[in-house]
Amino acid sequence: MREDDFTGDAGAAIDAALDAMDRLEAGAVANPDEGRRVGHYWLRAPARAPEPAQDYAIERSWAQLDEFAARLDGGALKGSDGCPFEHVIWIGIGGSALGPQLLADALAGDAARGLTVLDNTDPDGIQRALAQLPCPLARALVVVVSKSGSTVETRNGMREVMHAYARAGLELAAHAVAITGEGSTLDQLAAGGEGPPWLARFPLWSWVGGRTSVCSTVGLVLMALLGIDWRAFLAGAAAMDDATRARPARRNPAALLARMWHRQAGGRGEKVMVVLPYRDRLVLLSRYLQQLIMESLGKRLDRAGQEVWQGLTVLGNKGSTDQHAYVQQLRDGLDSFFAIFVRVLEDREPDAPFVEPGVRSGDCLDGFYLGTRAALRERGRASATLVLTRLDARALGAIVALFERAVGLYAELININAYHQPGVEAGKQAARAVLEAQARLLAALSPAPRTAAELAAA
């Protein structure tokens, strides 16, 4: 970074962005086309919510989660065969799946094997996932996540699972939990509108967007089910929120990150962000950030209604794996990117074996990170490194909060609305139009003659 990134017009712009984030947290309407506030920051600090009812609702959801977890752990909730639940089938899409998948892979350890995620409407994928369950359906807990209750992919996954339970002679309601908006079609179903009530219903509020829902019941329920310390995760996010409210901007980690993105990509998304975490457990971080950043920043119009065609492309996998893939291009090919490294200092147990005299596997991993960063620097390729002492719930909560704030600040710098997704909605409408055309075609074909006699008589 350069001094002029935080002085003059550039300094005024980042200060204005920080002011806008203050207003957002205070309850300003951030999504004018929907008349909606954006309150994911309140999820880890309920007292900051602008209305007492929101504070109460968040804390009530925590108490509800504690109660539900106690019933599970105490044996009050069991599978329909009388045995404890052994597996979780999680049905969601977008942030309702990516956030939980990141949490499970990064933090759950062996418990992550107890999770199956259905995040698509691919019938082959659903069939394969259900066929590979490690336990009978009678011992699987099904969690369905949809704020609106009408998300097509999630609805289809739920109906496929319903069908599987019915074929097994089981009632889904005896195994199911809903995370949804109050009064949604899913909420009504889970309340017993079409049969027995489900085991539990958790709220998902209108002021929580899917890509920023990991601190809501979406992430907390998953963490509770897999034994992850969700309070530590929230504490880490809250601590990062405090750090990223800091002034002056040059001492604010989110402002530094947003300003780096803006400088490197020319404020126009001219370069790709490559996310390289040097830890297997963070392999899903790039996918999570891909949605958070690209769905937030990829916009045709700015807030004045002018066409700007903005965005910031994100890709990545993990180090050192990628050193045997696309890192070759990063060093010697097009200078069309900047890199975000994530380094974790603490390895596993201290008595890990030596793979060569005086060298452990973790030493090699760290050496590859340092070598790759140095190799990129030699070519004048830009990068930034986020360093974690250890990878735990608190640290991951902090990372999530850091990128959430950086996205909000960057959006202010380029004057776009980071909290809606008109392109996603357009895709949904186009899909609906195709399905409606298919229905009309089938309706027109169904009365057509089908036999030779019918054709002759026609």
Whole-angstrom distance, CA of residue 60 vs CA of residue 47: 13
Is 163 tagged catalytic? no
At which residue do the structure tokens 């984030």 appear? 21
**Is 295 known to be catalytic?**
yes
Pairing, β 337-344 against β 272-277? parallel
Catalytic residue among 153, 160, 295, 404: 295
40 is catalytic: no
Cα 48 to Cα 24, 60, 326: the distances in Å are 11, 15, 43
How many Cβ atoms are within 10 Å of 65's Cβ, its own excluded? Answer: 19
Alpha carbon distance 400, 371 (integer Å): 27
Q: Are β-strands 354-356 and 359-360 bridged in parallel, bridged antiparallel, or unpaired?
A: antiparallel
Measured between alpha carbons, how far is 386 from 458 in angstroms, rounded to an integer? 74
Q: Which positions ≥6 away from 362 have C-beta within 8 Å? A: 347, 348, 352
Tokens standing for residue 233: 């995760």
Catalytic residue from among 78, 86, 171, 428: 428
Contact in structure between 117 and 101 (CB atoms under 8 Å): yes
Residue with tokens 């790709």: 272
Kindly report the backbone phi and psi dihedral angles of residue 37, in degrees, each rounded to the nearest multiple of 5, phi listed first: -80, 165
In the set 324, 349, 356, 378, the catalytic residue is 324
Cite the active site residues: 295, 324, 428
